[in-house]
Amino acid sequence: MPVLVMKFGGTSVANLDRIRRAAKRVGVEVAKGYDVIVIVSAMSGKTNELVGWVEETSPLFDAREYDAVVSSGENVTAGLMALTLQEMDVPARSWQGWQVPLRTTDAHASARIKEIPTDNINAKFAEGMRVAVVAGFQGIGPDGRITTLGRGGSDTTAVAFAAAFGAERCDIYTDVDGVYTTDPRITDKARKLDKIAFEEMLELASLGAKVLQTRSVELAMRYNVRLRVLSSFEEQSDTAGTLVCDEEDIMESKVVAGVAYSRDEAKMTLLSVADRPGIASTIFTALSEAGVNVDMIVQNISEEGRTDMTFSCPINQVARAEQAMDEARNAGALNFAELLADKDVAKVSVVGIGMRSHTGVAAKMFRVLSTEGINIKVITTSEIKISVLIDRKYMELAVQALHDAFELDKAA
Ligand code: ASP
Ligand code: MG
């Protein structure tokens, strides 16, 4: 029988009523003839509570025990979902990650999936079981201990199962009805997309659109898993939600697909570092070893052998970045006049695969921002994305103006 993967996020399994409602959706697909693999998140808020307990107990916690605790939320919903299905006379069984076994690397708290053997679950399907309910977000490491895949990791579990079982599709049920051209809280002109290309979704996810864990999109792209994002709160048809798919499956697409933003950015500038080979390597090695996620990087024009180096990072990593730079300076590896931190910036980006073949997107973006009197502090581009750092107080305005200018409220 064809296999379908259905993933339910935290709000879709927040209480027993919602689990029943989700189970009914599963029943509909079973009745259509699918063998279904259901991936569940923990009840909404549960993982945060568990993380809080760990941090309160042990601020510099042992990551193996963190995983033992925070993976537990999914165990509860997996068992409850299997019971609910059984009550509806749908043959169902639950699996925790180690039982599959979903094997991961040993990077506790941010492990990567290495393999998902299918024989165990397929044997049950062959015996007449119709739904395998799998606890998302967790696996088993080479040391035989429980691992977790990083926050939001059940999306990645779902896509990995879809790839391993050759599922027809991977449906991600969530509390929004799809992927939008931008955050509907910022402009009511935001429009739901029927389809979006993997690469666009990847950019949007890593730029802060929180619908899907970035790694799940990477994985879907690599294995060409058709991913559908849809709401568990609305009656569903086969075409509901947004399909994340190969760009070849999208007939008409606009040059720009969406506008993304990230509020929690900081702009850091090292003033007067030596302009010679190895300096960028010293700076960014030190930052990476300190766990700072550097995003944009700009090296300014040099004068008399010295230059300024600007980079951006999440605002909550500023202290870490400062410490890393001070340590590098004290160790004699680096010399700079000053490190400036601007914590009042936000990043706004336009994304679209059409940019590969159309010119003038950057010019238009900059023109729109200048018309609104918004100063651009840093610019970076990729083949399908242009990002700018601006003052945070203009972020909403910038998103709205760009959304209007690129006419994202209108279908392609
Ligand atoms: N429950 C986990 C989290 O909140 C994993 C997930 O829901 O995707 O991060
Ligand atoms: Mg999520």
CATH classification of the domain holding 297: 3.30.2130.10
Report the separation in Å between the CA atom of 212 and the middle of ligand 1, taken as the mean of its atom positions: 11
What's the pLDDT band for 232 if we cut at 50, 70, 90? Answer: confident
| In a shared domain, residues 128 and 11 | yes
Judged against a pLDDT cut of 70, whether residue 208 lies above it is answered with no
- Residue 93 sits in a domain whose CATH number is 3.40.1160.10
Report the separation in Å between the CA atom of 268 and the middle of ligand 2, taken as the mean of its atom positions: 30
In a domain, 225, yes or no: no
The residue from 175, 196, 231 where one domain ends is: 175
In a domain, 206, yes or no: no
State how far Cα 87 lies from the chain centre.
Answer: 34
Higher per-residue confidence, 151 vs 250: 151
Residue with tokens 């927040």: 14
In a domain, 410, yes or no: no
The residue from 141, 175, 209 where one domain ends is: 175
- Ligand 1 atom having least distance to the Cα of 151: 9
Judged against a pLDDT cut of 70, whether residue 59 lies above it is answered with yes
In a domain, 216, yes or no: no
Cα–Cα distance measured from residue 242 to residue 41, given in angstroms and rounded to the nearest whole number = 20
The residue from 150, 175, 200 where one domain ends is: 175
Q: What is the pLDDT of residue 85?
A: 98
Among 151, 159, 170, 210, say which to mutate for ligand 1: greatest number of ligand atoms within 8 Å of CB.
151
* Domain range enclosing 264: 259-405
Distant-in-sequence, close-in-space partners of 240: CB < 8 Å, separation ≥ 6: 177, 178, 228, 230, 231, 234
In a domain, 49, yes or no: yes
In a domain, 187, yes or no: no
Among 7, 39, 44, 47, say which to mutate for ligand 1: greatest number of ligand atoms within 8 Å of CB.
47
- Ligand 1 atom having least distance to the Cα of 42: 1
Report the separation in Å between the CA atom of 78 and the middle of ligand 1, taken as the mean of its atom positions: 13
Indicate the number of domains in the chain: 2
Please tell me if the CB atom of residue 152 comes closer than 6 angstroms to any atom of ligand 1.
yes
| In a shared domain, residues 272 and 148 | no
Please tell me if the CB atom of residue 97 comes closer than 6 angstroms to any atom of ligand 1.
no
In a domain, 219, yes or no: no
Judged against a pLDDT cut of 90, whether residue 182 lies above it is answered with yes
| In a shared domain, residues 69 and 161 | yes
| In a shared domain, residues 170 and 264 | no
In a domain, 222, yes or no: no
- Average pLDDT over every residue of 3-31: 97
- Average pLDDT over every residue of 90-97: 98
